[in-house]
Amino acid sequence: MKRGIFLCIFLFSVILSVFSQSYTVSGKVLEEKRHTPVEYALVSIPEKEITVMTNDKGNFTIRNLPAGSAEIVISSLGYQKVTFHLSIGKDRDDLVFYLSESSLALQEVQVTAQRKTEDLATSYTIGRAALEQMQVLNVTEIAALLPGGQTSRRSNLAVSRSSTDHFAIRTNGSGEMGLPEFGTVIEVDGVRLSDNSLFPDRTAELERTSSTLRITGADTRNIGTSNIESIEITTGVPSVEHGDLSNGLIRIHTRKGKSPWQINAVTKPNTKSFSLSKGFDLGNNRGVLNAAFERTKSNSDLASPYTAYDRNNLSLTYSNTWNTRKTPLRMTFGLSGNLGGFDSKADPDAFTDTYSKERDHTIRGSLDLDWLLNKPWITNLQFLSTLNYSDQLSEVKKNQSSSSATAAIHARKAGYFIATDYDTDPDAEIILIPAGYWYTTGRDDNKPLTYTSKLKANQAGKIGRLNHRLMLGIDYSRSSNEGRGLYYTDMRYAPTYRDYRYDEQPAVHNWAVYAEETLALPLSGGRKFDFSIGLRGDMTYISGSEYGTVSSLSPRLNAKYLFWKRPESLLSEMGLRASFGDAVKLPSAYILNPIPTYTDRLSFTPGTMADGSVYYAYNTMPSTNIYNPDLKWQRSRLLELEWNGKAGQVTFSLLAYHSRTMDPYIQRTLYIPYTYKQTDQSALNNFPIPSMNRVYSIDRETGIVTVSDKTGANPDQQLVYKEKLTAKSNSYYANGSAFSKKGLEWIVDFGQIPSIRTSFRVDGSYNHYKGIEKELQANLLTSQYMADGNLYKYIGFYEGGNSVSNGSLSKKLTNNLSVTTHIPAIRMILSLRLESNLLNYARNLSESSFGTRGFPIDNVESYFPSETATDIYAGDHYVAVYPQYYISLDDMETKIPFAEKFAWAKENDPALFNELAKLVLKTNRNYYFKSQNVSAYYSANLSVTKELGEYVSISFLANNFLNNMSKVKYSQSGNEATLYDNSLIPTFYYGLTLRIKL
Amino acid sequence: MKLTKLLFLLIIALLLGVSCSDNDDPSDYQTYDVTVKLVYPSDYESVENVTVTLVNTGNNTTYEDSTNVSGEATFSVPVGIYQATVTDKRSVSGSSVVLNGMANISVGTDWVATTPVELSLTASKAGSVVIKELYAGGCQKDDGSGKFQRDPYVILYNNSENEISLENMALGIALPYGMTTSNKYYGTDGKLSYEAENWIPAGDAIWHFKNTVSIPAGEEIVIALQNAVDNTVTYSNSINFANAEYYCTYDVSGQYKNTTYYPSPSEVIPTDHYLSSTVYGIANAWPLSVNSPAFFIFSTEGTTPAAYAANVANQQNYPGTTQVVIKVPVEWVVDAVEVKGQGVDGYKRLTSTVDAGYVTMISGVGYSIYRNVDREATEAIEENSGKLVYNYSLGTTSEQEGSTDPSGIDAEASIKKGARIVYKDTNNSTNDFHQRSRASLKD
């Protein structure tokens, strides 16, 4: 039905367009001072999707323009972008546009995020000047420029991948459901930094520390910041051409066009960066080649030059236009790469030859063809093909030692296996590492590869006064991982780990078709109505996976209405904008196929011999991969309403949003009971065969241990065993309960007060998050034992998981004041930004669909509800939570209501009571459910940029330059803490950049 | 021949002489039955075979008899004034208890044998099992890559004069496992919250003996707390636990199955020397601190350690965490040692009745915490003369916060010469322990 409507609109508009009259406009673009031609400048009419490029004489031609007014935007690298209004009623060939070189000598320079008012969706642009003023090291830092954004605390890049910063838009911090960072996507010149085929970082496993695998967004440290021209951030409902996202889109544009040599040097306490770039004119209309190189080295510790992150970026972009006179074909071919990563190797404090390093190599390629056909039935045809390949190999070299032989388990099948010397069987399921000293080199080889292709056609036209643009497109993307997964270089000494090859996991293919109609209707009195409606259909196909093909539809709608534009009145402009849309985040390969886990139970080990040699036999039980036929793709629905306008020179925008995430991805566990045999050392007491003559064997299937005599003097003898009941746990992804976020964002730009050449801007945000997980989830204490010496056998089913709280509520109100003083005469811009956090509120929640989940207890030792207190949120009692019911491993079918049985057991079965008590969850503080409100706090950043003539400029910044040491109060505990070295605000930090143009 | 006759006559005369003297006073050979009944303090039961001694104060004639089931001993004695004494030595909760009683009995010709003479006993402690040494800090690895700290052990020593049974004895460690200033048991009043309630926390698990083990007076047992193997195979500075006499904390059939802490023990250690764990926490190994443990031994009364620990009524969470402790009544604690890390500030975990002080340790260099000698008591033992070795040189006073044994007696060297050492036991680690520059098992 919807597709039918689009087809009708398309045919109707084509017919109308064919019969309307059209004109040709041509002209030239000149440099303002010297009146020299500007080549490779882009001349575009955005609402018609027309872009042409000037030739070496600065000339351009646009054909087939309908009568009426049009907005022409002219931009070129190194020049100030300009916009002109043009009335078209006849052919014109006399147009001359002047561009001025970007510099602080210009009247208008923006060092804040600019709201893109021409867009129907909520989006912001951050330009070169703002990036230079901030001295951005990692692009995630620009989130601070969004309304209410706060400066990142991180002062260097030298951290492991698992703890680096990620983009997360409209969140109040960690602990929110729906993997907000995973839903925020980043594109560099159209190349998506997809995480769909990235497996969670297993470096922690290499370090042999326990850690849960976390699904996050892309690591942006490999994106050189010196070559970025602008960044666009869409926080609202994006056009349907963008899919596979649920929480914002960040598009990074690198520098393209002719430019002089540009040399930058940045010094910050922990970081040094050097970069070089130039846009080469290949002459004779052969196009422009942009080359950029950046080297950045960031150390984690000021006092030590070791443990560093390195970035070596090389970027080459070729752009040119052919057939400029008739149907120009504009091509941009980009290739960029990074060599670098995190390395602790050189640290002399570490033991010789031990290190941890993470490669962050990447290569990104894109081919963008934009063919301006400018026919009534088609305006342009765009083809974009991208490739993104990363090598994110982590390597950890460790020094190990042991005073007795140790078992390293590599079994991937179920059964009983014996630890065997590597020399006897290098492929043994369990390798016995002899006592002594050795090194291990472990690697986690993650090589995500994403390929995308898109073909998009635009048809723009005019029906009477109505401007319309129809976009039709088709997308294909394929993401896979070419990495080997976790492995060790020498199996002789590899510790317990399992091979899981990422390159053997199926690729995720996604096809999408989309159509979007955009209408613009100018009305009388400066009124204007803009509207776009689009629909995107995604089809995900995973080869060789039970998930097969899954499809989803995302409708999106944006509208804005300009009530008036009356320059003479005080409220000269007022408009309303509304957006509604669905966005679907495709699951990652890891969500579809979590890395299998293994349960290894020690089955038999006799005593260690004098030389340290020992015999170990384990029972291994692998988790099985569970196909969840009910898994739905996570979807978020966003509704936005914005009121904006202009009063005098003050522009303002107030935006309200509400987003609801349906079917968020959550990890769940299924338990399957099994028994295994355990033979303990006492089975060998008074054994007739002397230990030196014993040969042990264990039956792979039954687990029965047999001892033979090497000398043959004694017959074989089976050892006595015990059977133990336990369960294997299989984790899989499912959909959790829907949750919502809502908030307000505002920007009030007071403009510049000419007398002091200072502009003021206030921006802020209020975010409200509430998420409660109510799905029943099973939990077994797999490593705990019961008083009778058996493994713990009761599985509790908790609403929303085995945590005392099953959700949280958070509210955050931030407000920033930016004061910018710009003095063109002395080519200087100074900005001061005061970031204030007025409300930072969080509360743990425990809510149930069945009634109550959790009750106050009189003291921490109690297991039963208090007779006096009833409110868990009063914050003066410990709180206990019961499972809804439990089952036992020896009877998985009978669901026993917990509360009743527990009360019964207290009186009648003390042993059962002691065991069931382990299923009761309790808060560890009596104020756990009390709200946590951090009193208001602030920090201030100062930055200044000064141009020394035409060719040199210097920027200086100081974050938290007042080094705020005042105190904040935490309402939950009543404690106070100083802001010095507090994670709430950035640490006092500074940086200096020198830029030279040649 | 003459000589033979003479000798014969002499024997006859002697025999006659004795007989004559017996017949001089009839009352002298009239005996009376005297029954002595031992009356124990209320906590103690009567037992068989306790020796009761009766001494005639007039002629020092001594009579001995053993008690029957009801605690009675019966004598046949002539008239006289007697002193009845009894000493019953018991091993109670890891301590040696001496029950002494004394009474005077006057046996006259009018003695009526029907009523037993009651002999009241009073109990007094006479030394106990003490922690002779706690080695927990580890040593240096041979390849220079740092510390090997998975070789801790404890030596329990019977400091009394009687054999002591370790029935219901358990090993515990107090929380927080390392001494720290962020001890959550301290309230705003600066006091340990459990002090007033007379218990101390034992974190995560306790270890107890499988069979009833007894330590004879002046003897000891070594318990390997991790890696009960010959660690010197790889780490020459470490300890060789491959010794059939040693015990070890090893119970991989339960929750503590982390083989990096608990590899299969040396085959020479008998399986009945494996201590059992009762785990109520969530860890997979006993979290003994390598820097500053608060280690104690206790003996349950009226219940077994396993039953006491498994009962949730005795459990509690360490405030603000998921770590579980059991509440060990202070009166059950037999001995304790509180260790502070060198250069580390921290609050005491053991209450003053258990251990009023602390001893400082430097970890990772092979140092151990060793008990000081009670010089006076040791020198008072006569058999020690000539066996005591002085000029003790293994103290660590040259180190910052180091210590030595002020008695100057080299306990280990003296023991090797056959001396019987009595260690200081004042329930104050500052007085009772010092940091020894070498683990005694490396001597």
The pLDDT of residue A522 is: 86
- Which residue on chain A is closest to B258 by alpha carbon? A602
Based on the domain organization, do B80 and B179 belong to the same domain? no
A435 with B270: Cβ contact below 8 A: no
Residue B320 covered by a domain:
yes
Say yes or no to pLDDT of A73 above 70. Answer: yes
What is the nearest CA distance from A608 to chain B, expressed in angstroms? 4
* Chain centroid offset of residue B307 CA: 23
Q: Is residue B389 part of a domain?
A: yes
- Hey, what are A345's tokens? 């190797």
* B298: in domain: yes
Residue B233 contacts A where some CB pair is shorter than 8 Å: yes
**Percent share of chain B, pLDDT over 90:** 53
Q: Which residues in chain B touch residue A684, judged by CB atoms under 8 angstroms apart?
A: 271
Tokens of B390: 């002085």
State pLDDT tens for residues A392-429: 999 999 899 999 889 999 999 999 998 989 999 999 99
Is B45 in the same domain as B188?
A: no
Mean pLDDT of A834-840: 94
Chain B residues lying within 8 Å of A930, measured CB to CB: none
What is the per-residue pLDDT for A911? 92
Res. A579 pLDDT band, cuts 50 70 90: very high
| Res. A113 pLDDT band, cuts 50 70 90 | confident
The token pair that represents A790 in the structure block: 């058996």
Q: Looking at B94, B115, B136, which one is the last position of a domain?
A: B115
Q: pLDDT tens, A9-66?
A: 545 555 545 445 778 888 899 988 889 888 888 898 887 788 888 888 888 888 888 8
CB atoms within 10 A of CB A96: 10
Residue position matching structure tokens 């510049």: A752
Same domain, yes or no, for B300 and B377? Answer: yes
For the cut 90, the answer to whether the pLDDT of residue B41 exceeds it is no
pLDDT at B25: 47
CB within 8 Å of A625: residues ≥ 6 apart: A593, A594, A596, A730, A732
On whether the CB atoms of residues B157 and B86 are closer than 8 A, the answer is no
- Tell me if A785 and B254 make a contact (CB, 8 A cut-off): yes
pLDDT in tens, A726-743: 998 888 888 999 999 999
Q: Indicate whether B155 and B245 sit together in one domain.
A: yes
What pLDDT shows up at residue A2?
Answer: 46
ipTM, 2 decimals? Answer: 0.81
Positive/negative CA dihedral, A687, A691, A692, A693 = positive
**How many Cβ pairs closer than 8 A exist between chain A and B?**
135
Rg (CA), chain B: 28
Q: Which two tokens stand for residue B122?
A: 């009073």
Exposure b/e, B350-369, CB count within 10 A at least 16 = b: bbeebbbbbbbbbbbbbbbb
Contact criterion met (CB < 8 Å) for B269 and A691 = no
What pTM was estimated for this model as a whole?
0.82
Chain A CB within 8 Å of residue B235 CB: yes
Q: Given this model, what pLDDT does residue A48 score?
A: 79
**Whether residue B254 is found in the same domain as residue B163:** yes
Interface test with A, best of B142, B143, B145 (most A CBs within 10 A): B145
**Residues B264-321 pLDDT 10s:** 999 999 999 999 999 999 899 999 999 999 999 999 989 999 999 999 999 998 988 8
- Domain closes at, from B89, B115, B141: B115
Interface test with B, best of A349, A351, A402, A804 (most B CBs within 10 A): A402
Q: Which positions in chain A touch B313 (Cβ < 8 Å)?
A: 861
pLDDT level of residue A1 (50, 70, 90 thresholds): very low
Domains identified in chain B, total number: 2
B168 and B193: one domain?
yes
User: Domain with B70 in it: what CATH number?
Assistant: 2.60.40.10
φ, ψ for residue B401, nearest 5 deg: 60, 20
Residue B120 placed within a domain: no
Question: Is B109 near chain A, with CB under 8 Å?
Answer: no
What would the DSSP string read from start to end of B304-315? Answer: -HHHHHH-GGGE
Own/partner contacts of B55-63, CB < 8 Å, gap of 24 or more, are B55/B82, B55/B83, B55/B85, B56/B80, B56/B81, B56/B82, B57/B81, B57/B82, B57/B83, B57/B104
The domain ranges of chain A are 2-99, 680-720, 776-809+842-922, 813-841+932-997
CA atoms of B439 and B28, how far apart (whole Å):
65
How far off is chain A from B46, nearest CA to CA, in Å? 34
Q: Which helix (H) or strand (E) holds A457?
A: strand A448-463
| B111 and B224 together in one domain | no
Of residues A700, A509, A699, A681, the one with CA closest to residue A592: A509
Cα–Cα distance, B360 to B402 (Å, whole number): 7
Omega before B176 cis (within 30°)?
A: yes
B270/A403 Cβ within 8 A: no
Share the mean pLDDT of chain A: 88
Residue A546 pLDDT level (bands cut at 50, 70, 90):
confident
Q: What is the DSSP letter of A153?
A: S
- Relative to beta strand A878-881, strand A549-565 is unpaired
Overall fold of domain A2-99: Immunoglobulin-like (2.60.40)
d(CA A816, CA A761): 8
Nearest CA in chain B to A722: B253
Q: How far is CA A645 from CA A19, A465, A576, B64, in A?
A: 38, 24, 9, 114
Mutate to test the interface with A, among B139, B238, B253, B271 (most CBs of A within 10 A): B253
Q: What is the pLDDT of residue A197?
A: 73
Q: Which of B242, B269, B316 sits opposite A860 (nearest CB)?
A: B316
Let me know if residue B25 belongs to a domain.
Answer: no
Instruction: From chain A, pick out residues whose CB is under 8 angstroms from the CB of B231.
Output: 403
Comparing CB atoms, the residue among B151, B266, B320 nearest residue A924 is: B320
Is residue B179, in this structure, part of any structural domain at all? yes
Beta carbons of B229 and A608 less than 8 Å apart:
yes
Interface mutation vs chain A, best among B182, B256, B258, B259, most A CBs within 10 Å: B259
Residues of A in contact with B243 (CB under 8 A): none
CB–CB of A602 and B257 under 8 A?
Answer: yes
SS (H, E, C) B258-280: CCCCCCCCECCCCHHHEEEEEEC
Phi, psi angle pair for A24, to nearest 5° = -115, 135
- Chain B: give the shortest CA distance to residue A341, in Å: 26
Within a domain: residue B26?
no
What phi, psi does B168 have (nearest 5°)?
65, 15
Tell me the nearest-neighbour CA distance from B224 into chain A, angstroms.
Answer: 14
For residue A881, what are the β-bridge partners?
A921
- Does residue A499 register a pLDDT over 50? yes
Cβ burial of B234 (10 Å; 0-12, 13-18, 19+) is buried
Q: Which of B335, B337, B349, B413 is nearest to B203 (CA)?
A: B349
A122-149, pLDDT tens digit by residue? Answer: 999 999 889 999 999 999 999 899 999 9
Whole domain around residue B40: which residue ranges? 31-115
Token pair 């700290």 in the structure block, residue: B149
pLDDT classification of A376: cutoffs 50, 70, 90: confident
Classify each residue of A749-762 as buried b or exposed e, where b means 16 or more C-beta atoms within 10 Å of its C-beta.
Answer: bbebeeeebbbebb
Residue A864's pLDDT band, with cuts at 50, 70 and 90, is: very high
- What would the pLDDT profile of A595-616 be if each residue is shown by its tens digit? 888 889 999 998 888 777 788 9
B23 pLDDT more than 50? no
Check CB contact of B146 with chain A, cutoff 8 Å.
Answer: yes
- Asked, for residue B6, whether it belongs to a domain, the answer is no
pLDDT of residue A926: 87
C-alpha neighbours within 13 Å on the C-beta side of residue A687: 28
Are residues B189 and B290 part of one domain? yes
* Residue of B235, B259, B319 with shortest CB distance to A406: B259
Scanning the structure block, which residue is given the tokens 């509120």?
A841
A857, A882, B129, B354, B428 from B422: Cα distances, Å: 50, 54, 11, 20, 16
Tens-digit pLDDT profile for residues B105-114: 888 888 887 7
**C-beta atoms surrounding A129 within 10 Å:** 21
**A704 closest CA partner among A726, A689, A719:** A719
Measured between CB atoms, does B322 come within 8 Å of chain A? Answer: yes
According to the model, what pLDDT value does residue A204 have? 65
Contacts of B317 in chain A (CB under 8 A): 860, 922, 924
Residues in chain B: 443
Which of B66, B95, B115 marks a domain boundary? B115
Do B82 and B56 fall within a single domain? yes
| Closest-approach residue (CA) in chain B for A785 | B255
A785 chain-B contacts, CB cut-off 8 A: 254-255, 279
Cα B147 to Cα A917, B137, B143: the distances in Å are: 40, 9, 10
- Same domain for B110 and B159, yes or no, is no
B242 and B340 housed in the same domain:
yes
pLDDT confidence bin for A213, thresholds 50/70/90: low
CB of B386 within 8 A of CB of B376?
A: no
Q: Are A433 and A493 in contact (CB under 8 A)?
A: yes
- Dihedral over Cα of A866, A867, A869, A871: its sign: positive
Query: CB contact, 8 Å: B238 with chain A?
Result: yes
Burial of A529 (0-12, 13-18, 19+ CB in 10 A): middle
Tens-place pLDDT, residues A959-982: 999 999 999 999 988 889 999 888
pLDDT band at B9 (very low <50, low <70, confident <90, very high): low
CB contact (8 A) between residue B230 and residue A607: no
Among candidates A446, A777, A731, A394, which has minimal Cα distance to A596? Answer: A731
Pair A41, A80: CB distance under 8 Å: no
Q: Is B306 on the interface with A (CB under 8 A)?
A: yes
Q: For residues A320 and A148, give the distance between their C-alpha atoms in angstroms, rounded to a whole number.
A: 40
By the CB < 8 Å criterion, does B108 face chain A?
no
Residue A201 clears pLDDT 90, i.e. is over it: no
Nearest to B227 among A403, A436, A913 (CB): A403
DSSP string, B110-174: T--TTSPEEEEEEEEEEEEEEEEEEE-S-EE-TTSS-EE----EEEEEE-SSS-EE-TTEEEEEP
**Whether residue B144 is found in the same domain as residue B208:** yes
